[in-house]
């Protein structure tokens, strides 16, 4: 630890392998998580959605292939669109206020999903496909991988699951993702609060975890409130509103309110570094409310931050660390571990 490092606790920032080492392997595969652990990630991050038969699996979104109005694939994380036996599964659903057409995880049983193979979501950007090599993993398989790697290498990492669209998933699959997450972590015996953070954009979901679901299960794990704006211009992003209070989450009162149910906040990095490349006072404000700050997403790829950061995540990471962040979500955990080791 660097004496005086302005993290909340004074400890070094943690490196979170975002969707695994998703910059170098197809996101949310055991291979991506294995590489992240071996690259030096402290935590690996699965986004979690629910299958038709009620199992938590790792996918970035409930929709695993998006089709345009002509039926052409515009984004894919599995090869399902190439499988004639599943052609009748295409559905249009309203997700976050938008009609999206494609193949949805909650319409497939786990045995069906296991016949699919993960593909690179950004083949044009990353110049690769990896088609046919990797399966969609369950949460239980990811925990088994963490244990396995610990036995083999001695590296003891944690897990940082995100409950993806829990309100949507409950309506679609009839399952409370957060309840299923706690049940699965308990079943797998993975409930050490030093090795789990649970994150969500949905405030109500986190409040329920804190007030009801975790106490009933006899489990207490740190929660992280995500704050959006990733695709907008930095620093003039509109704050996520708490659907129950309609309150701005980033005011001093809003941050203090988050601290009543969560241990930290996961903001888009645009809250930390503004449109002119200046460090904002966001970390200081969040720390004043007692919240850890874990911004996302640092990657070796074009960024919405000013030009000096394009393809230079190390500069972004150093600036965020000097601002006092307590962790970094990165698609390139090898880069994250290297930069954190400088401090
Ligand atoms: O969980 C942090 C970050 O991943 C949130 O955005 O859309 O990449 O899951 P997203
Ligand atoms: Ca995520």
Rounded CA separation 284/275 (Å): 18
Question: 63 has which bridge partners?
Answer: 104
pLDDT at residue 168 tops 80? yes
Ligand 2 centroid–CA 18 distance in Å is 7
Q: Per-residue confidence at 25, pLDDT binned at 50, 70, 90?
A: very high
Q: Residue 325 burial by CB count (10 A; 0-12/13-18/19+): exposed, middle or buried?
A: buried
Best substitution site from 41, 271, 329, 330 to test ligand 1's pocket, by max atoms within 8 Å of Cβ? 329
107 half-sphere exposure, CB direction, 13 A CA radius: 16
Tell me which ligand sits closest to the C-alpha of residue 224: 1
Q: What percent of the chain stands above pLDDT 70?
A: 93
pLDDT at residue 337 tops 80? yes
Q: What is the ipTM, given to two decimal places? A: 0.97
pLDDT at residue 247 tops 60? no
Cis peptide before 60 (omega within 30 of 0): no
Mean pLDDT value of segment 212-222: 98
Rounded CA separation 146/151 (Å): 9
Considering only residues 306 and 314, tell me which one the structure prediction assigns the higher pLDDT. Answer: 314
pLDDT at residue 327 tops 80? yes
DSSP state of 161: -
Res 248: pLDDT: 65
pLDDT mean across residues, the chain: 90
Res 241: pLDDT: 42
Ligand 1 centroid–CA 109 distance in Å is 25
- With a Cβ cut-off of 6 Å, ligand 1 is lined by 18, 47, 162, 199, 226, 266, 296-297, 329
Tell me which ligand sits closest to the C-alpha of residue 266: 1
Q: Which of 241, 238, 270, 273 is nearest to 254 (CA)?
A: 241
- Structural tokens at position 16: 């979170």
Domains (ranges, CATH) in the chain?
14-61+117-340 (3.20.20.190)
Mean pLDDT value of segment 276-286: 90
Q: What percent of the chain stands above pLDDT 90?
A: 74
Rounded CA separation 264/179 (Å): 20
Q: Per-residue confidence at 302, pLDDT binned at 50, 70, 90?
A: confident
- Active-site positions read 18, 60
Q: What is the DSSP string of 268-301?
A: BGGGTB-TTS-B-SHHHHHHHTT-EE--B-B-SS
Least confident of 81-90, 134-143, 159-168, 249-258: 249-258
Ligand 1 centroid–CA 85 distance in Å is 31
Output the residue whose Cα is nearest ligand 1's atom 10.
Answer: 60
CA 192-193-199 angle, 5° bins: 125
Q: Per-residue confidence at 263, pLDDT binned at 50, 70, 90?
A: very high
- Structural tokens at position 225: 């409130």
Considering only residues 47 and 312, tell me which one the structure prediction assigns the higher pLDDT. Answer: 47
Q: Where are the alpha helices (DSSP H) in the chain?
A: 30-39, 110-113, 123-126, 139-153, 166-173, 177-187, 203-208, 214-217, 252-258, 282-288, 313-323, 333-340
pTM, 2 dp: 0.94
Ligand 2 centroid–CA 114 distance in Å is 22
Rounded CA separation 215/286 (Å): 26
Q: CB 3: neighbour CB atoms within 10 A? A: 5
pLDDT at residue 305 tops 90? no
169-181, pLDDT tens digit by residue? 999 989 999 999 9
Best substitution site from 44, 47, 159, 168 to test ligand 1's pocket, by max atoms within 8 Å of Cβ? 47
Best substitution site from 49, 297, 327 to test ligand 1's pocket, by max atoms within 8 Å of Cβ? 297
Res 229: pLDDT: 57
């Amino acid at each position: 630890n660097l004496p005086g490092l302005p993290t909340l606790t004074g400890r070094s920032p943690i490196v979170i392998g975002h969707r695994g080492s998703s910059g170098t392997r197809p996101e949310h595969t055991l291979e991506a998580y294995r590489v992240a652990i071996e690259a030096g990630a402290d935590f690996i991050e699965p986004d979690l959605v629910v299958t038709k038969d009620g199992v938590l699996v790792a996918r970035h979104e409930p929709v695993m292939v998006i089709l345009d109005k002509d039926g052409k694939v515009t984004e894919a994380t599995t090869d399902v669109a190439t499988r004639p036996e599943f052609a009748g599964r295409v559905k249009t659903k309203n997700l976050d206020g938008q009609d999206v057409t494609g193949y949805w995880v909650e319409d497939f049983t786990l045995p069906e999903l296991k016949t699919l193979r993960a593909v690179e979501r950004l083949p044009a950007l990353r110049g690769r496909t990896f088609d046919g090599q990797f399966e969609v993993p369950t949460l239980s398989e990811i925990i088994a991988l963490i244990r396995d790697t610990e036995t083999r290498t001695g590296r003891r990492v944690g897990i940082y699951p995100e409950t993806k669209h829990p309100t949507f998933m409950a309506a679609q699959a009839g399952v409370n993702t957060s309840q299923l997450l706690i049940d699965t972590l308990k079943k797998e015996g993975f409930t050490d609060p030093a090795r789990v953070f649970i994150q969500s954009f949905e405030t109500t979901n986190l409040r329920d975890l804190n007030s009801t679901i975790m106490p009933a299960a006899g489990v207490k794990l740190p929660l992280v409130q995500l704050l959006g704006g990733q695709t907008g211009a930095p620093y003039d992003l509109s704050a996520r509103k708490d659907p129950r209070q309609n309150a701005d989450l980033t005011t001093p009162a809003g941050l203090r309110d988050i601290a009543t149910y969560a241990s930290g906040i996961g903001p888009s990095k645009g809250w930390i570094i503004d449109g002119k490349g200046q460090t904002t006072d966001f970390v200081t404000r969040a720390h004043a409310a007692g919240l850890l700050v874990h911004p996302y997403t640092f990657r070796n790829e074009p960024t919405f931050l000013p030009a000096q950061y394009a393809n230079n995540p190390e500069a972004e990471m150093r600036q965020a660390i000097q601002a006092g962040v307590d962790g970094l979500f990165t698609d390139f955990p090898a880069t994250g571990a290297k930069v954190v080791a400088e401090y």
